[in-house]
Every structure is written in C-alpha cells, then in structure tokens.
C-alpha cells in the first residue's frame, strides 16, 4: 500500500527536478525527435528499462542514476511500468555503453532488463543486468549477451513503430464493436450468397488470407472474400510492368487475375466485409489507414511509416473519395497522416458516410 502511494510521489518530485519528464512529456519529446530525425537524417537511440522483480525501489535509484549520467540534451521519464531514456545523436553501440554505465551501480538485490532501439535504422539490442550476472556489451548491434554468456541473435525488426503506436481510444473501440456486430448480422445473407458464388465459379478457398502490417508494424492476418484465381500471387511478377500505382504499392485497374465473380465483389466492396471480423478482434478499426501487405509497408519511407502509429482500418480518406483517378502514393500517405492527426468520432462518422456513398455509386477507391 505504501509503495503504491510513494511511487507517484517520487515521480512527481522529479518532474519538477533537474530533467525528469512525466510520461506524456517524454512521449512528446520522443515524437519530436523522430520528426527531426525524419527530416534531418539525424539519429537517436531509445532505451527502456523494466525491473525483473516486483520491487518499486529500483525506479527511484534508476531515476537518480539517469539524472547523474545522461547529457543535458538527453531526456528520460517513466514509461508504462518502467523507465525510458532518449539519447539524442547517439547510435546503438555507444548507447549500450551508456546503459552499462548507468547500471553499474545497481543495488545488490535488483535485476533490470533493458532494451534499446536505434532510429532510424531500426537496430535493436536487449539484455538483463544484475549484480550477480552483469551483461557484457553485445558483439554486434543485433545480438545480446545472455546471462549464460552466449550471444543470441535478435530478429532484425524495428522496435520504433511499436514505441510510437497509439492504442485505440475507448470511444473508438466501443463504436467499432457496435457497428461491426450490426453489419455482420445484416450482411450475413450477402456473405453466404457470395461464398457460394465463389465456390461454384472458381476452384480454391472462399476466403483470402494475407499478412498485413498492423498497429506499430505488427503483422496480422487480414481476411477478404477471394476475388482472384488461386495462382494470383505467383503471377504478380509477370504483371509488374502493368502496375498503375507508384511507390511500393501494386494496383492494376483491370487485373487479369480477378475472376468474373470477383470483379462484381470488388465493385460493390462485398469482398471487404470479412474484415469486420478483424475489427471485432481489435486488429483493425472501421476508420483508419488501410493496412498494406507487409512487403509494401516495408518499402515505405520513414515519414510514410508514421501511418503505423494508429490501428489500420476498413476505410480512410483515400478510400472514401469518389474520384476514379489514382493519386500518387505519396499523396495517399499524406491523406492517411492527415487522418492520424485529426481523428475523432465526427471524422469517423463523416468518412463512413462518404465511403457508403462511394460504394453505392461504385466509385470507392481500391
């Protein structure tokens, strides 16, 4: 009980102290530094600390250690159930040395797990530090030294998108569940008829499953009614010269891989209805940037990947427009980022109504 009361007190004390920020201030500082890195090709490393044991004393000690060891240009503050620091202008390997310097005075009974990511390269490293077993500096940016002393490779994935990810607001989640359940019930007969038509007109499964980049870049399986022949993915390279979309995206208006039934399903957007299941699972939302296939998302530039800060959706500004002309990929991404900055319940309702009208007129962007 005392620990529960004391923890916010010492955090508040440090907010008005030398350099410690509160949680929201630190997140804003991190976001500003990311924008600066995107524009100026600079680098920074984020460091995250958490205790390997349920003891709040280590945070008070770590706060003092960070205040004494970090530079004036660096920032630090509480992060979820731990602490975090942002080392400005510092690549990964020097940042790891800073971490070891900070943790070298760790109390005897404490054990701290740490994780670093370098932005914009996405290199990561993690380890565990205690007085009994001290971690050595990783031999390479993508490996860590485990307590047994054996380096273990970390998958080459960036921690950065997940750090900047913004969870769904409660109002948006409630709105998603109510609307998704209602639409699934109302469109169940349409889905059943479409499934029969797909099965009768072309061999293969009714549903198409594809890995897409979700919130924070985390992959998930997105569901659609199958509108293409089963060998569509294999034929993509053959049709690369016909791609009508610039950037990493691949889109052909009259795609020869689409079945006759699939053309109608696409025109009416019926093929997108199974994604209501993704909405119920929390992997998608009704309104948000459309999730790109993982390989296309990986091909986006740094500023374009800021669309991964929010949960992907069934429709957004680009999909709700009623024009037939394809917009440049960069403009599509700017539309997504404009939604990210302005999202609200009224914005969502407006875009859903615009999308509904575009579908009725068979002019929704795909």
Class of residue 31 by CB neighbours under 10 A (exposed 0-12, middle 13-18, buried 19+): middle
The 10s digit of each residue's pLDDT in 60-114 is 888 888 988 898 889 999 888 889 999 999 999 999 999 988 888 777 677 888 9
Which residue is associated with the tokens 């900047």?
A: 164
DSSP 284-343: -EEESPPPPBHHHHHTS-TTGGGGGGS--EEE-HHHH----SPPPHHHHHHHHHHHHHH-
d(CA 210, CA 278): 12
| Residue 220, CB-side half-sphere exposure with 13 Å CA sphere | 21
DSSP 251-278: --TT-TTB-HHHHHHHHHTGGGTTHHHH
**Rounded to a whole number, what is the largest CA-CA distance in the chain?**
71
pTM exceeds 0.85, yes or no: no
Contacts 24+ apart (CB under 8 A), 328-331: 328/246, 328/247, 329/245, 329/246, 329/247, 329/248, 329/249, 330/247, 330/304
- Nearest Cα to Cα of residue 72 among 126, 19, 13: 19
pLDDT at position 53: 67
pLDDT at position 130: 73
The two three-digit tokens of residue 283, written as one number:
């992997």
pLDDT at position 148: 34
Burial 69-94 (b: 16+ CB within 10 A, else e): bbeeebbbbbbeebbbbbbbebebbe
- Could you tell me the end-to-end alpha-carbon distance of the chain, in angstroms, rounded to an integer? 55
d(CA 337, CA 339): 5
Name the DSSP class of 56: T
Q: Which helix (H) or strand (E) holds 281?
A: none
d(CA 64, CA 87): 16
Which residue is associated with the tokens 């403009």?
A: 331
Which residue is associated with the tokens 């209602």?
A: 182
Q: Please, what are the domains in the chain?
A: 18-164 (3.30.70.270), 170-360 (no CATH)
Q: Which segments of the chain does DSSP mark as H helices, in order? A: 2-15, 23-40, 57-69, 92-103, 160-164, 170-201, 260-268, 275-280, 294-298, 317-320, 329-342, 345-360
pLDDT at position 54: 61
Ranges under pLDDT 70 in the chain: 1-18, 53-56, 108, 131-161, 322-325, 362-366
The two three-digit tokens of residue 223, written as one number:
């569901």
The 10s digit of each residue's pLDDT in 307-350 is 999 999 999 998 887 555 678 999 999 999 999 988 889 999 99
pLDDT at position 365: 55
Interhelix angle 2-15/57-69, rounded to 10 degrees, is 20
pLDDT at position 139: 40
């Amino acid at each position: 009980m005392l620990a529960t009361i004391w923890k916010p007190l010492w955090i508040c004390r440090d907010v008005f102290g030398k350099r410690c920020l509160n949680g929201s201030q630190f997140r804003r500082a991190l976001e500003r530094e990311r924008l600066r890195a995107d524009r100026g090709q600079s680098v920074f490393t984020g460091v995250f600390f958490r205790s390997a044991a349920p003891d709040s004393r280590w945070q008070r000690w770590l706060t003092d250690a960070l205040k004494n060891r970090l530079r004036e240009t660096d920032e630090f503050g509480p992060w979820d159930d731990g602490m975090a620091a942002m080392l400005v202008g510092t690549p990964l390997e020097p940042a790891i040395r800073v971490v070891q310097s900070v943790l070298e005075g760790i109390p005897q009974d404490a054990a701290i797990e740490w994780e670093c990511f370098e932005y914009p390269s996405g290199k990561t490293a993690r380890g565990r530090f205690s007085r009994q077993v001290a971690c050595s500096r990783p031999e390479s940016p993508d490996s860590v030294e485990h307590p047994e002393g054996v380096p273990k490779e970390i998958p080459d994935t960036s921690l950065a998108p997940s750090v900047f990810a913004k969870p769904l607001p409660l109002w948006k989640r409630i709105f998603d569940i109510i609307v998704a359940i209602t639409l699934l019930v109302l469109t169940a007969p349409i889905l059943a008829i479409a499934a029969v038509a797909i099965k009768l007109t072309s061999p293969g499964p009714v549903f198409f499953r594809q890995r897409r980049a979700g919130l924070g870049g985390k992959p998930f399986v997105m569901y659609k009614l199958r509108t293409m022949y089963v060998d569509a993915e294999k034929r993509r390279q053959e049709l690369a010269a016909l791609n009508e979309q610039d950037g990493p995206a691949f889109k052909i208006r009259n795609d020869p891989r689409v079945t006759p039934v699939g053309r109608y399903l696409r025109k009416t957007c019926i093929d997108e209805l199974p994604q209501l299941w993704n909405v119920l699972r929390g992997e998608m939302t009704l309104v948000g940037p459309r999730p790109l296939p993982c390989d296309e998302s990986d091909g986006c530039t740094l500023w374009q990947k800021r669309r991964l800060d929010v949960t992907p959706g069934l429709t957004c500004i680009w999909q709700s427009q009623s024009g037939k002309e394809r917009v440049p990929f960069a403009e599509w991404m700017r539309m997504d980022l404009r939604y990210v900055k302005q999202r609200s319940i009224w914005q969502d309702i407006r875009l859903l109504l615009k999308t509904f009208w575009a579908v009725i007129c068979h002019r929704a962007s795909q």
